[in-house]
Structure 1
């Protein structure tokens, strides 16, 4: 298989997964990029996840946004580190590869259902991993109801995994504090990051 074939295959995987899509506008009229972590085909992409993510964003997502300001809604609900998490390194590389004008037009990143590990990780390493321009735009949304303060319900298609996780959080509120977890393998796994400086990937930030 040629490099061109591989590139086309990875783009098709991402397109069919609907992991990254544009979904209307927020309450300030800015374009909304929805990223559903559970849909991201990280296992299928293997070692090509970082390159595929960068290519897809630059070749498909940014042209669709055009010159508009935009926000990102990242839905982290029920993400499994072995199946659909591309790694912090891939996320960082994708952001850093954006043109300066696109970085400026990105106004906010709403992180839905971050979980305790994600909060701790970004609080500890976020300023070192990401430029201040991105870190300061990060907003945690522990429940969908808080997202509706920024994005109208009618403008945003909520994935089923987010609905289910939100319902579970309502029934088991201690999950927010890491006292309960849906996946015990992901509890208190703070040391499970790769590479000598822990920059490449966070194995479990659910």
Structure 2
């Protein structure tokens, strides 16, 4: 019998957060590795599933495939509402949750692309370093905003652990210097350390950071 969910993933990609969600929810799923270094995400086999050619993507029990980490997390949280990882539509925390999840996805996530691949954002090779440096300054601003917005202790919302914490912890994994990030943003550091202690997150992170098989 096939697992109800199939997650298409790549190491240390935006698949971390949806994969942690699947583990937290304890729902049956299988994983399909998409080698982005080899350009597999641009091949027809994957493009037919996710036309925007981004990782991750999730095949749902009805066969539909959706992309974008934040969208996947919302769908999973609402399909398994008993977990409380995503506030229900009538929950008072719902508007705040959606605001911050969307802010992380729309404002934080894309900055890492500029920091990692500045050449994709300029036609002038000599400008690559200035693009990267500007991205790093924007990341500092972004995490400072997150640090000031954290209302719980240690988690983002006062209600406790939610998908917001998973998503923000994932973003922190991409920082060039996590120690400096946490020193500058102690609430972010406390949150991310708490998330890293959760068995589901540890399991996924170990998988994403394990040496590649020869």
When normalised by structure 1's length, the TM-score is 0.29
Structure number with higher helix proportion: 2
When normalised by structure 2's length, the TM-score is 0.28
Structure showing greater radius of gyration is 2
Structure number with higher strand proportion: 1
